């Protein structure tokens, strides 16, 4: 977090596709922001991940030790800097 504790450090929200569902759930709990940013090896944003996304994977039979690469592709929606 930044010194004012209101803006998350983006690096804390980033996660890679080789992380397990367990690790993703732990990171969601630690950051307490309700969202993670799945990034590629080059730092490109691939998708967002919520606890609901992980819950659906588990309900579909995934194991906590499976990787989050099992999530379906979902292009993130982004806005340009300065958009209001």
pLDDT at 1: 44
User: pLDDT tens digits for 49-78?
Assistant: 999 999 999 999 999 999 999 999 998 888
Q: Find tokens 């922001």 and name the residue.
A: 33
Query: Whose CA is closest to 46, among 36, 56, 54, 55?
Result: 36
Is there a contact between 41 and 47 (Cβ–Cβ < 8 Å)?
Answer: no
User: pLDDT tens digits for 15-33?
Assistant: 999 999 999 999 999 999 9
Domain boundaries, the chain: 11-70
Give the global pTM. Answer: 0.82
CATH number belonging to domain 11-70:
3.10.580.10
């Amino acid at each position: 977090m930044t010194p004012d504790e209101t803006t998350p450090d983006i690096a804390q929200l980033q996660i890679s596709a080789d992380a397990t569902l367990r690790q993703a759930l732990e990171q969601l709990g630690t950051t307490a922001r309700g969202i993670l940013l799945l990034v590629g090896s080059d730092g490109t944003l691939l998708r967002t991940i919520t606890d609901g996304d992980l819950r659906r994977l588990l309900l579909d039979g995934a194991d906590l030790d499976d990787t989050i690469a099992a999530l379906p592709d979902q292009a993130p929606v982004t806005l340009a800097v300065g958009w209001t």
